Structure 1
Amino acid sequence: MAAGEGGATPPSEEWNSKKSPPSTPPYVRAVAGSLGGVVEACCLQPIDVIKTRLQLDRTGAYRGIVHCGATAARTEGVRALWKGLTPFATHLTLKYALRMGSNAVLQSAFKDAATGDLSNRGRIAAGFGAGVIEALLIVTPFEVVKIRLQQQKGLRPELLKYKGPVHCARMIAREEGILGLWAGAAPTVMRNGTNQAAMFTAKNAFDVLLWKKQEGDGKVLQPWQSMISGFLAGTAGPICTGPFDVVKTRLMAQSKSGGEVKYKGMVHAIRTIFAEEGLHALWKGLLPRLMRIPPGQAIMWAVADQVTGFYDKTYLQPAKL
């Protein structure tokens, strides 16, 4: 099959134009997403640690991204920048598998029964639904553990409250109840639902605009093309959902084992942060989020598109007439 414009593989001319082309099965998209998640986690964990530290900083201890990273590396060792990698990598692997798989299932449900086409409204609804599912089943408990581990400071493990991800999860469940692992669920649902609605819609739009690729047309984008589309699609969400992310982090970081907590819920947290720290505090950590999420989406989509593209070319190419 000859290479097409922009490095993309052209669609087969053998497809029946009267029918919607076959779509990649949800389980293939789930595997593709999980592989992309592993690569993303290993590359971008330091940015996530810095983001968390900045969001939890109420005293101005860090003067910015570089100072925060340098301080952590100097006082706690370079490995501190990869704190929480195990739950982060596991969480991303499971999250992307669930996100890509559930989005594929929901997109199929929202397609027009007669034509097989998916409207923009259906694409947004499928993305939002996938974000809600991943937030409740995967993201919230894993991020609670990750954030508790990341906020710990010090070099001596014996002085740290949490010794590792499994120990952390057990401690939270014992001291705060099993629901302690779902602290901050409401802002997480809002953040992830909005993010995924925007991301899936924008990724498809950029694929069409930049590379003339329609979903199911048989083209396989080059990795660099997927990275550009994924990067651009990943920029809008962090700006729109900054307050939800800050509130989520604050709610997840506070332990209920000591009695009274500072933030009583999502709305109370937003009001309290605004009153005590100003409007800008609701977007704390935005720059490291923009340094992490768009590159992360670029990496994930570069891997995922190649996996799904390989499957489509191998198994979904129609027999020649």
Structure 2
Amino acid sequence: MSDDKKKQPHVSPAIKGFAGSIGGVAEACALQPMDVIKTRLQLDKAGKYKGIWGCGKTIIQEEGVAALWKGLTPFAMHLTLKYALRMGSNSVYQSMLRDDNGKLTDGRRMLAGFLAGITEAVVIVTPFEVVKIRLQQQKGMAKEQLKYKGPINCALTVLREEGIRGMWSGCTPTVLRNGTNQMCLFWAKNNVDKFLWDKHEGDGKMLTPTQSMTSGFLAALLGPIATGPFDVAKTRLMAQTKTSGGTRYSGFFDALMRIPREEGIMAMWKGLLPRLLRIPPGQAIVWAVSDQITGYFEAQSIAKASGSLPA
């Protein structure tokens, strides 16, 4: 191993995973209402909701303010585990893809992000989002009138009625969406940091929370636009339940063709504005937290390597 590679500061995947999970908790609590609105808009085929504000106002009037936090428990748990796995697995994949000098090209950085997105989609995101979307699509607050009484009851009901495959409904578009999202995110975050703040990976420079929030926000703008069709197809597939007549969409490609044919091409970007109002601010929160934690350990690693701290 070369001396250059040995000098690369080491922040373990476990620490990066922990940093991401703490950011995920903060994001879930702050931005759950926008996720509920996004889901309702994507499932609205009759045009009941008139935009973001109209949707939010209607939900509050008909179901109460608390309805905007429907599905918070699985959403918060989902984000905590998702960001832990995303940050940790991305670190592992990046380590595997570095050259002999410890360097990572933009292409390999994007590949690591894509693989991290696939990992989180299969292991965590799909089953948690099935539960979250089933809970969010229910209208009303009286539990006795709801099919699903809570996250655990929802999961058990899906397993009983639809089998294990029901918990992974919409897995294909979720893989494509998350893989593309993380490919864009990790590449863009690294390059925005360099362009705006002259922050280079492994240099020990600590960004302020405001700088991290700015970078995270800007880096997260591209993904939702690129993956809108995948997200709409995923939501429709996860929301549908089996009836005597079967299901409306037979699979991902069927949904991808039928939705624009029946509702117009712009239907494939339904819910885009609330996604843009939710995802970039969410990433701003996550990176503000995770950069502080990983930056601290990165600085400690550099200090130890230089002899400023005891090994």
User: What interval of TM-score do these two structures reach, taking the shorter chain for normalisation?
Assistant: over 0.9
Contact 2:174-2:231 within 8 A present in 1 as well:
yes
CA distance in 1, matches of 2:289, 2:187: 19
2:22 matched to 1:22?
no
Aligned position for 2:67: 80
Of 103, 110, 121 in structure 2, the residue corresponding to residue 117 of structure 1 is 103
AA aligned opposite 1:23: H
1:217 equivalent in alignment to 2:203 = yes
- The aligned runs of 1:47-86 (5 Å cut-off) are 47-86=34-73
Could you tell me which amino acid in structure 2 is paired with residue 283 of structure 1? W
* Distance in 1 (alpha carbons) for counterparts of 2:233 and 2:174: 9
Aligned equivalent of 1:276: 262
Q: Indicate how the Cα distance of structure 1 residues 214 and 260 shifts in structure 2: closer, same or farther if over 3 A, else same.
A: same
CA contact (8 A) 2:114 2:182 kept: yes
Q: Provide the rounded CA distance (Å) in 2 between the counterparts of 1:40 and 1:258.
A: 39
The DSSP-based 3-state class of the residue aligned with 2:203 is coil
Any stretches of 5+ residues in structure 1 without a counterpart?
A: 1-15
Structure 1 residues 253-292: Cα deviation after superposition (integer angstroms, max 9, x where no partner)? 0012544101011111011111110000000000000000
> 1-side partners of 2:94 and 2:272: how far apart?
30
Q: CA deviation at 1:68?
A: 0.3
Q: What is the root-mean-square deviation of aligned Cα atoms in Å?
A: 1.3
Candidates 149, 164, 168, aligned match of 1:163: 149
State the partner residue of 2:227: 241
2:20 to 9, 30, 33: 33
C-alpha separation in 1, matches of 2:215 and 2:119: 24
Letter in 1 for 2:18: V
1:230 aligns with 2:216: yes
TM-fit CA distance, 1:154: 1.0
**1:192 pairs with one of 171, 178, 198:** 178
Residue pair 2:117, 2:181 contacting (<8 A) in 1 also: yes
- Counterpart amino acid of 2:266? H
Offset at residue 97 of structure 1 (A): 0.2
Whole-angstrom CA distance in 2 between matches of 1:266 and 1:228: 35
Separation in 2 of the partners of 1:105 and 1:175?
37
Q: Deviations over 1:26-70 (max 9, x none)?
A: 000000000000000000000000000000000000010001001
Q: Offset at 1:93?
A: 0.2
2:294 is aligned, of 295, 308, 312, to 308
Percent identity of the aligned residues? 62
SS at match of 2:306: coil
Distance 1:241 1:39 in 2: 24
| 1:93 alignment counterpart | 80
Q: Quick one: which amino acid aligns to residue 148 of structure 1?
A: R
Q: Distance in 2 between matches of 1:307 and 1:316?
A: 15
TM-score, scaled to structure 1? 0.93
What letter is aligned with 1:164? G
Q: TM-score, normalised by structure 2?
A: 0.96
Match of 1:264 in 2: 250
Tell me, in whole angstroms, the C-alpha distance in 2 between the residues paired with 1:115 and 1:188: 34
Distance 1:258 1:304 in 2: 48
**How far 1:20 moved relative to its partner?**
4.3
Distance 1:247 1:64 in 2: 20
- 8 Å contact 1:20–1:117 — kept in the other structure? no
Shift >4 Å, 4+ stretches: 16-20
The answer on 1:136 being equivalent to 2:122 is yes
| Amino acid in structure 2 at the alignment position of 1:304 | S
What is the CA-CA distance between 1:23 and the residue it aligns to? 2.7
Residue 127 of structure 1: CA displacement?
A: 0.2
Deviation for aligned residue 1:156: 1.4
- Distance (whole Å) between structure 2 residues aligned to residue 219 and residue 155 of structure 1: 49
